[in-house]
Amino acid sequence: MSGRTVWLLMSQAGIYGLPGPARVKRLRGVVTADDLVNRKFHRLRPNELWVTDITQHRTREGWVYCAAVLDAYSRRIVGWSIDSEQDSTLVVNALDMAIRNRRPEPGGIVHADHGTQFTSWVFGEKIRSAGMLPSFGTVGDGLDNAMMESFWSSMQIELLNRRRWKTRVELANAIFEYIEIFHNRRRRHSALGYRTPIECELLSENDTITAVS
């Protein structure tokens, strides 16, 4: 008896099979951390939550990879790294830049996906040595890092897809300008009251000074 015949007979009888247990993809031989974010990206102060990820884009010379670290409070890119290789060095360099620039207090969260670059020992050690906490979303679920995905989507539309890139250096320079000049200093975000990321942080600093005074 075929499966379709069984389904037809059960439907006519008004009976249905029970759903099986949800199948969750698990990683073997990889040490990861819990999801400390659970899709709740809103934060009240800078450096409470950083999200990070990698994007890639082709040039005539080959692929360019960019890792970035975004502060969930202000949407500011606080660290980034660009290379022709997609390895743990790429993400460690981006995180190292963020740590040197921001000098976060202990207890902040660094949230990423389960890519091998982020689950590497050296990346986790960089997080822990800064007094921060690693966090990983569900395997294969883009919504668990939606804020970072949103940034990549904007950069794809506003920069990467607008032309064909000849060399890696040309694209790397364009990404630098997009991040540091346009996104951080000029791009206004509706979620920030139509302020730029840097304006949002300056307002936060002024509010803190006023409260202390």
* AA letter at 124: G
pLDDT confidence band for 203 (50 / 70 / 90): confident
Query: What confidence score (pLDDT) does residue 11 get?
Result: 61
Helix (H) or strand (E) holding 68: strand 63-71
124-139 pLDDT tens trace: 999 999 999 999 987 6
* AA letter at 65: Y
Query: What confidence score (pLDDT) does residue 143 get?
Result: 78
User: Does residue 24 register a pLDDT over 50?
Assistant: no
Please state the pTM of the whole predicted model: 0.81
Rounded CA separation 50/73 (Å): 9
133-136 and 109-112 as β-strands: parallel, antiparallel, unpaired? Answer: parallel
Mean model confidence pLDDT for the chain: 86
Residues 6+ apart with CB under 8 A from 158: 178, 182
User: Does residue 30 register a pLDDT over 70?
Assistant: no
pLDDT confidence band for 29 (50 / 70 / 90): very low
Alpha carbon 95 to chain centroid distance?
A: 12
pLDDT winner (highest mean) among 30-44, 126-140, 176-190? 176-190
Residue 50 near residue 80 (C-beta atoms within 8 A): no
Query: What confidence score (pLDDT) does residue 136 get?
Result: 93
Q: What is the largest CA-CA distance in the chain?
A: 81
Rounded CA separation 60/104 (Å): 39
User: Does residue 110 register a pLDDT over 60?
Assistant: yes
